[in-house]
Amino acid sequence: MRNTLLVTGGAGFIGSNFVLQQMLDESWFIINLDKLTYAGNLHNLEGIAADRYQFIHGDIGDRALARQLLEKHQPGAIVHFAAESHVDRSIRGPEDFIRTNVDGTFALLEETRAYWSALLDDRRNRFRFLHVSTDEVYGSLGPQDPPFSEITPYAPNSPYAASKAASDHLVRAYHHTYGLPTLTTNCSNNYGRFQFPEKLIPLMILNARDGKALPVYGDGKNVRDWLYVEDHCEAIATVLRRGRPGETYNIGGWNEKPNIEIVQTICDLVDEKLPQAGRSRRELITFVKDRPGHDRRYAMDARKIERELGWKPKATFETGIRKTVSWYLENEAWVRDVTSGSYRQWVATHYSG
């Protein structure tokens, strides 16, 4: 029987990078279930080998569809990326986040539990359900607080973070109550190719390229830990192969930086690649009203995954951000395809003032 992996949300930013990376392993046949909301993009997966890959357009909350896929394809593992993931959108409209992140994860867990329970012993023992989550479930840190660890109490501060915290708790409960062999990863801020340009780094790259204002919340001193997406995908694959069922693994880049430094670095790299005589893109930086409940600092203690599974990031922020800026500047067709009228309207509405 072929080695089948079911990936949810595999047309999104992190999911598509993961699918492309896993397709290099010729032992996998990958089923990609994605609803194709605004951030899902099948162009990310063009040229993929059709004999070892199948795309299914659907919702993780559709239990009949999930049941059909599980029964038909008999996956040996599920990697669950599918989620609404933008804090700003969750503030303006939290309902979608509850529907997808909480109700959708519950539906997927229920169908997975039924499928797993019916497997024969060997396949049942080898099966894994890996849930991809975020550091935002832990809340906010003070300047001198130690980084988040796997035992940090949850304290989500946005509707997005609360919805992911709820899904994390469901996954944990399905392991402890039913024995489902689950794994959870909580990652820091990702960046890299294919990220929808409402997020900080691609938004700043494209605005800097076009000479538009670079909107920075508050005083720009909110701190995040930055993780290059290809490193994150390798970490997920490592947890899938060697992680202990029921465990949580924090994945971080060891790159704590304030937002203003990120934006300044992007300005300098865009100036280097697309110089404008006598003018620095730093002049485009515009401070805007802070968003409600904006967490001040995130930092990840990723020593557990390094100690137990031998993973650590390969990219420094300097190498990763240079690759990322180059990719966005060199892939105009992809950028043009995703920056539609509805996207421009959303950015204008959200950052006005």
Determine the Cα–Cα distance for residues 188 and 226; give it in Å rounded to an integer: 6
Residue 142: Cβ within 10 Å count: 7
| HSE-CB for 95 with a 13 A CA cutoff | 1
- Dihedral sign of CA atoms 80, 82, 86, 90 in order: negative
Collapse the DSSP code of 191 into the 3-class scheme (helix H, G, I; strand E, B; otherwise coil) and give the result: strand
Report which secondary-structure segment, H or E, holds 305: helix 303-309
C-beta separation of 18 from 81 below 8 A: yes
- At 178, the amino acid letter reads Y
279 contact partners, CB below 8 Å, separation of at least 6: none
C-beta separation of 259 from 224 below 8 A: yes
DSSP code of residue 12: S
Bridge partners (DSSP) of residue 3 are 28
Terminal Cα-to-Cα distance of the chain (whole angstroms): 58
**89-125 burial string, b = 16+ CB within 10 Å, else e?**
bbbeebeebbebbbebbbbbbebbbebbeeeeeeeee
C-beta separation of 197 from 261 below 8 A: no
Cite the active site residues.
Answer: 135-136, 160
Determine the Cα–Cα distance for residues 330 and 341; give it in Å rounded to an integer: 21
